[in-house]
Amino acid sequence: MQKAEMRRFEMQASLSNCVGRCLGQNRLMHALTPTLRKLSLFAVFAAVAQTAGEPMKRIDEQEFGRMQDGTPVKQFTLRNTKGMVAKIISYGATITELQAADRNGALTNVVLGAATLEEYLKGVNAASVIGRVANRIAKARFTLDGLEYHLAANNGPNHLHGGRVGYAKVVWEAKALPPRDGEGSIQLTYQSKDGEEGYPGNLHVQVTYTLTDDNELRIEYEAKTDRATPVNLINHAYFNLAGQGDVLDHELWLAADRYTPADDELIPTGQIAEVKGTPLDFTKPARIGARIEQLKPKPGGYDHNFVINNGGKSLVLAARVAEPKSGRVMEVRTTEPGVQLYTGNHLKHGALCLETQHFPDSVNQPKFPSVILRPGETYKQTTVYKFSVK
């Protein structure tokens, strides 16, 4: 046996003995479920592998399932040196798991997801990419360059989240990218055809997910078109930093002094108003449940677009969420001008969304930042979710 192999064998044996003693003697660790014990020890095993001279495998790829026509759906598992794990499937470019540590180092999945493709096909709430235009378009129509376009009306008389299929219910092309120092990435692409859901132009969409050793999940969006078209891409992740229960005790801070008032169908009026003196004021950290009853029965909780201070120009801090019991903290940075806070009102507030976006119905609101992409231009958007503890 070579010296390097002997050394690695000795270290792994030593670690196994140590883990065995710890699991047998530490009551707190022994009380954890087998899954949590496995997850919380991942970072230790990764560190030992690196010490032994073995590079950590940042990305794994496997088949998640097959569509009814036989099309395979891939699943990629991204890992970092801190033990954080992100799982993404090619169906909808969907995040199925995001394992983040609490203040004691135990990992928990903090996004709503499912274990099988069949559950996603049945319509489970998913952290999928939404497009061609996220959020609502009034009366499911818009006029561009003198032509009126009619879209799928899938939210009463309005168009919501790209239509009946959109980008969340299709299989994307997906591949792992070459590893770089301190991060691993996968890239997904989708060719949205001219006329799809009523939108003009062939749109080539590319989304890159990157997990860094700073516990950041970075999502970078790009799109190009051969004809003028509106574009507003987001990820509709539902977060619960406790991993269970509701999010009413989560503490939220938003870098937003203003919001876009909306009617009963959640279509913006075109005005921009101050949050001061309303239940929408999160300029100082506040419990999500502190004033949520003031928003019932309609819209049933938070479902509002906030105007990010200095947003839309560069990557800025837009939001911070903290879960007191676990100590988990999530910061959201984005290049977008707005963020939609949705408190899972149809899920008894079991999760929250922070959808970084252009404003709803922007294509029909000339005073809102434009969502029109033209040939020769490149749509770009970056959102970063960074996890820590306190």
User: Which residues belong to the active site?
Assistant: 236, 355
DSSP string, 234-295: EE-PPB-TTSSS-STT-EEEES-SEE--B-TTS-B-S--EE-TTSTT--SS-EETTSSGGGG
73 and 61 Cβ atoms separated by less than 8 Å: no
φ and ψ of 288, to 5 deg: -60, -35
Query: Which residues lie closer than 8 Å to 20 by C-beta, 6 or more apart?
Result: none
Structure token pair of residue 345: 């009102």
Place of tokens 């820590």: 388
Grouping H, G, I as helix, E, B as strand and the rest as coil, residue 363 is: helix
**Number of Cβ within a 10 Å radius of residue 322:** 20
Place of tokens 């709430």: 125
Identify any residues that bridge with 210 across adjacent strands, giving them in sequence order.
185, 218
**Number of Cβ within a 10 Å radius of residue 29:** 17
| Crossing angle of helices 3-25 and 42-51, rounded to 10° | 160
Q: What is the DSSP letter of 343?
A: -
99 and 109 Cβ atoms separated by less than 8 Å: yes
Query: Which residues lie closer than 8 Å to 3 by C-beta, 6 or more apart?
Result: none
Identify any residues that bridge with 287 across adjacent strands, giving them in sequence order.
251
- Region label for 239, one of left (φ > 0), alpha (ψ between -120 and 50) or beta (otherwise): beta
Is it true that the peptide bond before 299 is cis, omega within 30 degrees of 0? yes
Identify any residues that bridge with 99 across adjacent strands, giving them in sequence order.
85, 109
359 and 369 Cβ atoms separated by less than 8 Å: yes
- Region label for 257, one of left (φ > 0), alpha (ψ between -120 and 50) or beta (otherwise): alpha
**How far is Cα 380 from Cα 65, in angstroms, rounded to an integer?**
31
